[in-house]
């Protein structure tokens, strides 16, 4: 079993209230656990970046009214996809 430690130094959220941060955080955490728990491909992709200082995940656009949890899961997907590129 591989262990991945991920530190997010900067994350800019626009259009969300402070009250949504816990829901966003839960969505991000569950999204990462789900994606990284699927198999070694995603973990290997992140492991390859051990010498890199960052993973450029890009931006995430969601439809108006999208929940903070859904945005967290979308950000998790961008992080994993960003590591694969």
Is 79 a domain residue?
Answer: yes
pLDDT in tens, 31-63: 988 887 776 666 666 666 555 566 777 788 877
DSSP conformation letters of the chain? --------------S--GGGHHHHHHHHHHHHHHHHHS-HHHHHHHHGGGG-S----------TT--HHHHHHHHHHHHHHHHH-
Predicted pLDDT at 79: 83
- Number of domains present in the structure of the chain: 1
Range of the domain at 75: 21-43+67-85
Is 39 a domain residue?
Answer: yes
Read off the pTM: 0.71
Is 27 a domain residue?
Answer: yes
CB 1 within 8 Å of CB 49: no
pLDDT in tens, 23-37: 998 999 999 888 877
Is 16 a domain residue?
Answer: no
């Amino acid at each position: 079993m591989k262990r991945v430690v991920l530190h997010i130094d900067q994350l800019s959220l626009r259009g969300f209230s402070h009250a949504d941060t816990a829901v966003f955080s839960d969505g991000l955490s569950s999204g990462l656990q789900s994606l990284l728990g699927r198999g070694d491909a995603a973990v290997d992709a992140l492991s390859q970046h051990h010498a890199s200082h960052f993973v450029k995940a890009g931006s995430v656009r969601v439809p108006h009214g999208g929940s903070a949890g859904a945005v967290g899961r979308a950000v998790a997907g961008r992080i994993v996809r960003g590591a694969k590129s």
